[in-house]
Amino acid sequence: MESAQHKQATEVVTTLEIRLPWVISSAWQAVLSQTPLDFEATKDIYFQLKEQAQDVIGGQLVRQIRTFIEEPAITSMVIRNCPRDRDIPPTPYSGVLSPKSTPIACLVSLSLQSLLGIHPVVYEGENDGRLFRHVIPSRTSSSQKSSHGSRLRFSYHVDNPDLPLSSEAVDNISCCPEYLSFFGMRCDPRINTTLVNLDDVLGSLPASIINELTYPNFEVRRPDSFATNRRSTPNLAVLVRGLSNEWLCRFDSENTYGMTASAARALDALRILLETRKFDKPHLLLPGDFMIFKNQRVLHARDGFEPQNDGADRWLLRLFAVNDLSRVCLARADHLYEIIS
């Protein structure tokens, strides 16, 4: 009989968790409090933030953080006890708040993405062109299945899945985000961010279903977070092999449809397996926690909840990123971050 020790030794680690010591977090807080949040000097500040983070965090922790990018098996990372804004406003139920109201949270998110060598982006038609999206229970979108919804379960999905995955060619539209990060602003212990590792799910699917999901027999609709240009894209595969032969995914439980009977059956099989919830890895993000995951390698979800509407509801700060800016099309020449989708 295989020993528990051997099982633990052979288990593949997919989530990296790091806790910043108090002395490092405090020193970084002091540096960031003196750093202006200037989006007019985007390129300069992005390089500056990387240099600052390297100096303050130190070589050993920096190398550990970068394993998220360098190790294919690691698909998500949580860094706890990051610097945070000491006096934050009430949860912004409108979804609109100037980054200058939460400068430390914005600077930490940008710093860590810069440290990882990835590039923050926002998509045309989504989030009104704002780089940071506030994941909050909007009072006007409570029944929406999006990051501004609350009452309905936001089921398993990849963000912006109608766009080209990392191994697919791009033309006049930009690539699908390769990374999605959250920064914990305000916590609600009732509500987790649920991650599902794609390889775990595929390991329990029959080969015939996996094969069916690789055919371009699916239509994917833009998610609810897009206020405009909510088109549907036909003739897409749900599963695609990546550049290193890893599986990539564009499944969105609410917005993916089979174009043939066999494609619809394969989607049903995937949904049924996911809804057993045996692959769920719930994460409770506390204020100052930074989570990042590989959007095309991880599905994420959130259970429904009833907001209190008292200014203290759950609040996360979301930021997209891509590996290579040559795979994006700028929506405006004067806006480094906004890209055509």
- What one-character-per-residue DSSP string does 317-337 give? EEEEEES-GGG--BSSTT-SS
User: Which sign, positive or negative, has the C-alpha torsion 227, 169, 322, 185?
Assistant: positive
Q: Are 193 and 298 in contact (CB under 8 A)?
A: no
Asked if residue 184 is part of any domain, the answer here is yes
Asked if residue 1 is part of any domain, the answer here is no
Residue type, 154: F
Asked if residue 125 is part of any domain, the answer here is yes
Q: What is the pLDDT of residue 121?
A: 93
Task: Measure the CA–CA gap between 223 and 181, rounded to whole angstroms.
Answer: 18
User: Mind giving me the DSSP string for 196-263?
Assistant: EEHHHHHTTS-HHHHHHHTSS-EEEEPPTTBSS---EEEEE-SEEE-TTS-EEE--BTTTEEESSHHH
Asked if residue 2 is part of any domain, the answer here is no
Asked if residue 270 is part of any domain, the answer here is yes
SS3 content of the chain, % helix, strand, coil (to 5): 30, 25, 50
pLDDT tens readout for residues 50-105: 999 999 999 999 999 999 999 999 999 999 999 999 999 999 999 999 999 999 99
Q: What is the pLDDT of residue 56?
A: 97
For the chain, the farthest-separated pair of C-alpha atoms sits apart, in whole angstroms, at 63
Q: What is the pLDDT of residue 145?
A: 55
Asked if residue 329 is part of any domain, the answer here is yes
Give the count of domains, the chain. Answer: 1
Return the structure tokens found at 320.
């997209």
Q: Which uninterrupted H or E stretch holds 56?
A: helix 42-57
Asked if residue 84 is part of any domain, the answer here is yes
Task: Measure the CA–CA gap between 84 and 106, rounded to whole angstroms.
Answer: 9
Please count the other Cβ atoms lying within 10 Å of the Cβ belonging to residue 116.
Answer: 21
- What is the tally of helices (H) and strands (E) in the chain? 8, 17
Asked if residue 192 is part of any domain, the answer here is yes
CA atoms within 13 A on the CB side of 243: 7
Q: What CATH code is carried by the domain that includes residue 233?
A: 3.60.130.10
Task: Measure the CA–CA gap between 79 and 285, rounded to whole angstroms.
Answer: 10
What are the φ/ψ torsions at residue 95 (nearest 5 degrees)? 80, 5
Query: Which residues does the chain have with pLDDT short of 70?
Result: 1-11, 39-43, 139-152, 225, 227-230, 332-341
Residue type, 300: H
Q: What is the pLDDT of residue 9?
A: 40
CA angle 283, 295, 196 (to 5 degrees): 45
Torsion of CA 76, 127, 228, 196, to 10 degrees: 20
pTM: 0.91
> From residue 15, how far is each of 36, 123, 298 by CA, in Å?
32, 27, 11
Q: What is the pLDDT of residue 125?
A: 82
Partners of residue 220 on adjacent β-strands: 233, 256
Given strand 218-221, what is the order of strands in its sheet? Answer: 232-236, 218-221, 256-258
Range of the domain at 93: 12-339
Q: How long, in residues, is the chain?
A: 341
pLDDT tens readout for residues 125-134: 888 888 999 9
